[in-house]
């Protein structure tokens, strides 16, 4: 072996020894410790997929590639994390969740927030329910399982009349996706989590729209919004694209979210700039900075988080 090759190989060996955690260098997976666990996993409205592992275990090594892919696919939608149970400081944590074999994959599911109650009466910071993933350790069943555990706060609206009454009843600001699709994408459900308690999220398929009469119920209370809807709905009925609009009925204001692509970052930017609000979670939130640091400060782009991407 040439000496430079030897150098490269021994460098690799060194990395394997030094990087004692599997995912220290992964930009999408958070290596949890007793210090970060509760804040990352329990103090959020997001769902988390966690692998409890030991570095020496062969099945864990096999799962590593799949976890890395899952982290990427679920980015911005479900948190993906891991706990190295071989690490002495983590042993209690693994005991607390009754981890017996490696790897153990679990999903932590947030409690539902009752937004109809005033903030002071809502249950705060209740722990998430944990559930062991018993299915096949393959990418798509694991991803589907995690996605099925996202709390859904997006309400479907099935017609123009219903949309008007929903807007009229709103106590909060609302975000309406006039959607080219029937299905609610996981990313839009994540947008609803980012803005929980600030914007209520709705979706209405373009196909369910019908023209809005001039003397509709919003015309007196919200003349500007009413006019906007009268102009926009006929266009949207013909459209093959989705349109995202934020409404503030208390002030009779609306804003179509102009994005070249509907990423979580662009949506958060548009909403915070136009309505002077900051998101609870996700891009531009305080929490996101904290999470970024835990992901070892590795920069990652927000490129893939489009409303209609299909994780």
Which of these segments, 65-73, 99-107, 122-130, 163-171, binds ligand NAG (CB under 6 A)? 122-130
Beta carbon of residue 197, minimum distance to ligand NAG (angstroms, whole number): 3
The span from the first CA to the last CA of the chain, in angstroms, equals: 44
Strands 79-84 and 243-248: unpaired
The minimum distance between CB 117 and ligand NAG, in angstroms, equals: 10
What is the nearest approach in angstroms of ligand NAG to the Cβ of residue 207?
A: 10
Nearest to 178 by CA among 239, 222, 130, 125: 239
CB atoms within 10 A of CB 177: 25
- Contact between 52 and 85 (Cβ < 8 Å): yes
Q: How far apart are CA 221 and CA 250, in angstroms?
A: 9
Q: Is 159 in the site for ligand NAG (CB under 6 A)?
A: yes
Neighbours of 34 (CB within 10 A): 14
Say how many CA atoms lie within 13 Å of 275 toward its Cβ: 29
Closest approach, Cβ 238 to ligand NAG, in A, equals: 18
Q: Is 214 helix (H, G, I), strand (E, B) or coil?
A: coil
Any idea what DSSP says for residue 151?
P
Closest separation in Å from C-beta 109 to ligand NAG: 12
Query: 80 vs 193, which CB is nearer to ligand NAG?
Result: 193
Applying the rule CB under 6 A, the residues between 188 and 227 that interact with ligand NAG are 196-197, 208
Question: How many whole angstroms separate alpha carbon 174 and alpha carbon 202?
Answer: 7
Q: 104 pairs with which residues across the strands?
A: 52
- Residue among 103 and 279 whose Cβ is closer to ligand NAG: 279
Instruction: Count the site residues for ligand NAG by CB under 6 A.
Output: 13
158 binds ligand NAG per the rule CB under 6 A: yes
For position 152 contacting ligand NAG by CB under 6 A, the verdict is no
Which of 125, 215, 238, 310 touches ligand NAG (CB under 6 A)? 125
Q: Contact, 252 vs 223, CB < 8 A?
A: yes
Tell me how far, at minimum, the Cβ of 139 lies from ligand NAG, in Å: 28
Residues 37-66 as x/- pattern, contact with ligand NAG by CB under 6 A: ------xxx---------------------
Which residues, at least 6 apart from 197, have a Cβ–Cβ distance to it below 8 Å?
A: 113, 115, 119, 172, 280
Please report, as residue ranges, which positions from 280 to 299 form the binding site for ligand NAG (by CB under 6 A). Answer: 280
Nearest approach, Cβ of residue 180 and ligand NAG (Å): 17
Residues contributing to the site for ligand NAG (CB under 6 A): 43-45, 113, 122, 124-125, 158-159, 196-197, 208, 280
């Amino acid at each position: 072996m040439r000496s430079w090759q030897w150098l490269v190989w021994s460098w690799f060996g060194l990395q394997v020894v030094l990087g004692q955690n599997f995912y220290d260098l992964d930009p999408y997976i958070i290596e949890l410790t007793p210090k970060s666990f509760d804040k990352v996993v329990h103090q959020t409205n997001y769902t988390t997929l966690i692998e409890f592992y030991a570095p020496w275990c062969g099945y864990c090594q096999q799962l590593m590639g799949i976890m890395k892919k899952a982290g990427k696919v679920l980015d911005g939608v479900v948190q993906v994390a891991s706990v190295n149970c071989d690490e002495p400081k983590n042993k209690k944590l693994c005991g607390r969740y009754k981890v017996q074999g490696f790897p153990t994959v679990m999903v932590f599911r947030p409690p539902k927030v009752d937004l109809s109650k005033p903030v002071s009466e809502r249950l705060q910071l209740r722990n998430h329910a944990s559930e062991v993933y018993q299915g096949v350790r393959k990418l798509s069943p694991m991803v589907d399982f995690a996605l099925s555990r996202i709390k859904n706060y997006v309400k479907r609206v099935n017609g123009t009349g219903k949309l008007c009454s929903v807007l009229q009843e709103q106590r909060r600001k609302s975000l309406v996706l006039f959607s080219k699709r029937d299905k609610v994408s996981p990313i839009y459900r994540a947008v609803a989590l980012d803005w929980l308690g600030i914007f209520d999220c709705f979706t209405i398929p373009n196909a369910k729209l019908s023209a809005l009469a001039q003397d509709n119920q919003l015309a007196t209370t919200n003349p500007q919004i009413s006019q906007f809807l009268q102009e926009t709905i006929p266009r949207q009925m013909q459209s093959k694209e989705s349109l995202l609009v934020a409404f503030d009925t208390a002030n009779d204001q609306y804003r179509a979210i102009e994005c070249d692509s509907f990423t979580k970052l662009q949506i958060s930017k548009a909403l915070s700039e136009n309505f002077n609000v900051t998101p609870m979670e996700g891009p531009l939130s305080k929490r996101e900075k904290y999470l970024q640091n835990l992901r070892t400060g590795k920069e990652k782009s927000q490129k893939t988080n489009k409303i209609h991407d299909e994780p």
